[in-house]
Amino acid sequence: MGKFSSAGGREMPELNTASLPDLVFAFLFFIMMVTSMREVTLKVMFKAPQATELQKLEKKSLVTFIYIGKPTQELRAKLGSETRIQLNDQFAETSEIQDYIAQEKSSMKEEDAPFMTVSIKADKETKMGVITDVKQALREAYALKINYSAGLKVD
């Protein structure tokens, strides 16, 4: 098989890596487009409940989040372990939800306001009393489209 032996020592041509940065940059931009930076720091811990019949949340800019859960470990010494509601960056009471929704609504474009969705991200061990209060507040604030955030159930 002398025919194929490379005793002649032809060198392998070096791979041109000049376009590698461009490739990586393209990938980087793709990632930046599809992901959304979380703007709020979570002060409550929550584990989403699980369900199977899930719908995707569309139009991220129209979605407002309400977090419900127990305060994180660091804040627990100060606030106790009672279930709390978090709007944006601070804890809130149910009475403040209405103002918060009104504020979020006014910051939207006028034609988008009716399509505002409120995503309730609550811990799965929350008692329904809190959720019901939040729901009543949302009704009063005319934010009727809601979404119970949930993870996909795996059997």
CA dist list (Å): 64 to 9, 12, 17, 145: 66, 57, 45, 11
Contact yes or no for 85/66 (Cβ under 8 A): yes
> Residue 42 corresponds to which amino acid?
L
Contact yes or no for 46/121 (Cβ under 8 A): yes
Which residue, 51 or 103, is less far from other proteins as judged by CB? 51
What is the nearest approach in angstroms of other proteins to the Cβ of residue 39?
Answer: 11
Considering only residues 112 to 151 of the shown chain, the ones binding other proteins according to CB under 8 A are 117, 119-120, 122-129, 131-132, 135, 138-140, 142-151
Indicate left, alpha or beta for 108 from its phi (over 0: left) and psi (-120 to 50: alpha): beta
The pair of structure tokens assigned to 117 is 């969705």
What string marks each residue from 60 to 99 as x (binds other proteins by CB under 8 A) or -? x--x------------------------------------
Considering only residues 14 to 33 of the shown chain, the ones binding other proteins according to CB under 8 A are 17-18, 20-21, 24-25, 27-28, 31-32
| Distance separating alpha carbons of residues 17 and 13, to the nearest angstrom | 12
Interface region with other proteins, contact rule CB under 8 A, candidates 12-20, 73-81, 87-95, 107-115? 12-20
> Which residue, chain included where needed, has tokens 């407002």?
64
Contact yes or no for 85/130 (Cβ under 8 A): yes
What string marks each residue from 34 to 63 as x (binds other proteins by CB under 8 A) or -? xxxxx----------xxxxxxxxx--x--x
Which residue, 76 or 139, is less far from other proteins as judged by CB? 139
* Interface positions with other proteins (CB under 8 A): 17-18, 20-21, 24-25, 27-28, 31-32, 34-38, 49-57, 60, 63, 117, 119-120, 122-129, 131-132, 135, 138-140, 142-152
